[in-house]
């Protein structure tokens, strides 16, 4: 039996860590820039039109977006905004320099957050992590966060060392990867691609999802930047009729009914038929803010299908024989 746990930023937020991109943008770590490295202002007026360099564009988005997603904003800038800029009013090199500074400052910010923010030890995220570890079959744990899961686990009173994979790098060695997935960017903005980073590494996420009996998503918004990692998995659940005995249990832990609807909307936009999805797997949305029947069923299933339960059953069978 192979099970998979995938955690996103909602996991850290549930523990009380201010790890939203908007938290970073509102902190003293955010690299505000008034002039570019060459001494020119990052904001210029020409022909009565506004032209934005990357620092100003991101600063503006952080103040106006209802939900500020730094990576999606970088993608929008490189694919849409740049095409409308006059070459003499901006420098791609300056944008790249600022992008690297932004990545470094984000790392500094999250290290400070991890070190100095008290953990909410009563958060559901901690209980789910314990249930996963007690199950004994979650050999594949993937984190889309930069924070140290073992460090957080110790704050929760969990002494067990957790073996897991950082998909986008980690704070401990400053290998964090900020950027976009494969996109049609101008050559001078190629460094915005995550795969261009020296820290980018392959992982077995796709294979693990394909082989899993139980899949848990905790705190992922399924935004456009990260959905590429799960697209084939959900498409495969839509493309064929899956026998009852082969159906996977998929639990999506999210904040509330509003965030559940947002996730469903994003899946639909990605071409995932919700009715077909429910027909081909046991899919449940579980809210992190309230105790529900779905949560009780989840705990019971993980306990009944745990390695300890199976060992007890084998021991009892051996005693009878």
The CA distance from 261 to 23, in Å, is 24
SS3 321: coil
Q: Which residues neighbour 81 within 8 Å (Cβ) at sequence distance 6 or greater?
A: 52, 57
Which residues of the chain are in CATH 3.40.50 domains?
3-17+119-167+203-320
Count of H helices and E strands in the chain? 14, 8
Q: Which residues neighbour 31 within 8 Å (Cβ) at sequence distance 6 or greater?
A: 55, 98, 101, 102, 105
The percent of the chain in helix, strand and coil, each rounded to the nearest 5, is: 50, 15, 35
User: Bigger pLDDT: 41 or 219?
Assistant: 219
The CA distance from 33 to 37, in Å, is 9
Least confident among 130-139, 202-211, 215-224, 307-316: 307-316
SS3 209: helix
Residue corresponding to tokens 């850290």: 12
User: Bigger pLDDT: 292 or 154?
Assistant: 154
* Contact yes or no for 48/65 (Cβ under 8 A): no
Structure-block tokens of residue 57: 């564009």
Task: Check whether 84 has a pLDDT greater than 70.
Answer: no
Task: Check whether 117 has a pLDDT greater than 60.
Answer: yes
- Cα 253 from chain centre: 13
Residue 138's CB: how many other CB atoms inside 10 A? 24
The CA distance from 82 to 185, in Å, is 10
**CATH architecture entry for 3-17+119-167+203-320:** 3-Layer(aba) Sandwich (3.40)
The CA distance from 171 to 23, in Å, is 17
Task: Check whether 312 has a pLDDT greater than 90.
Answer: no
pLDDT at 33: 66
Q: What is the pTM of this model?
A: 0.89
* Contact yes or no for 72/225 (Cβ under 8 A): yes
Total residue count of the chain as it appears in this document: 321
Residues forming a β-bridge with 44: 51
The CA distance from 228 to 222, in Å, is 9
Least confident among 7-11, 205-209, 236-240, 257-261: 236-240
Average pLDDT value for residue range 107-118? 97
SS3 161: coil
Q: What is the sign of the dihedral through the CA atoms of 218, 205, 181 and 146? A: positive
Indicate the pLDDT class of residue 110, thresholds 50, 70 and 90.
very high
Tens of pLDDT, residues 245-282: 889 999 999 988 898 999 999 888 888 888 888 999 99
* Contact yes or no for 177/197 (Cβ under 8 A): yes
The CA distance from 77 to 219, in Å, is 26
Structure-block tokens of residue 320: 């009878």
pLDDT at 66: 80
């Amino acid at each position: 039996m192979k099970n998979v746990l995938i955690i996103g930023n909602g996991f850290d937020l549930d523990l009380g860590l201010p790890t939203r991109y908007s938290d970073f943008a509102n902190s003293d770590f955010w690299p505000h820039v008034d002039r570019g490295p060459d001494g020119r202002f990052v904001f210029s007026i020409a022909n009565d039109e506004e032209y934005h360099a990357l620092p100003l564009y991101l600063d503006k988005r952080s103040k106006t977006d209802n939900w500020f997603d730094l990576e999606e904003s970088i993608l929008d800038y490189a694919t849409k905004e740049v095409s409308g800029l006059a070459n003499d009013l901006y420098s791609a090199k300056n944008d790249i320099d600022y992008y690297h500074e932004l990545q470094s400052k984000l790392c500094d910010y999250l290290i400070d957050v991890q070190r100095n923010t008290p953990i909410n030890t009563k958060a559901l995220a901690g209980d789910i992590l314990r249930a996963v570890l007690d199950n004994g079959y979650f050999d594949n744990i993937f984190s889309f966060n930069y924070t140290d899961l073992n460090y957080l686990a110790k704050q929760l009173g969990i002494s067990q060392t957790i073996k897991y994979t950082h998909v986008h790098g980690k704070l401990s060695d400053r290998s964090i990867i900020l950027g976009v997935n494969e996109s049609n960017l101008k050559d001078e903005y190629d460094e915005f691609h995550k795969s261009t980073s020296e820290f980018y590494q392959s992982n077995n996420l796709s294979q693990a999802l394909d082989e899993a009996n139980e899949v848990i998503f905790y705190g992922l918004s399924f935004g456009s930047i990260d959905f590429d990692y799960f697209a084939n998995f959900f498409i495969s659940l839509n493309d064929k009729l899956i026998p009852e005995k082969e159906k996977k249990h998929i639990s999506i832990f999210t904040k509330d009914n509003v965030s559940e609807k947002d996730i469903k909307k994003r899946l639909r936009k990605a071409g995932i038929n919700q009715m077909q999805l429910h027909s081909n797997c046991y899919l449940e949305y579980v809210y992190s803010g309230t105790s529900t029947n779905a949560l009780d069923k989840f705990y019971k299933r993980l306990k009944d299908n745990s390695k300890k339960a199976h060992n007890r059953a084998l021991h009892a069978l051996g005693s009878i024989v």
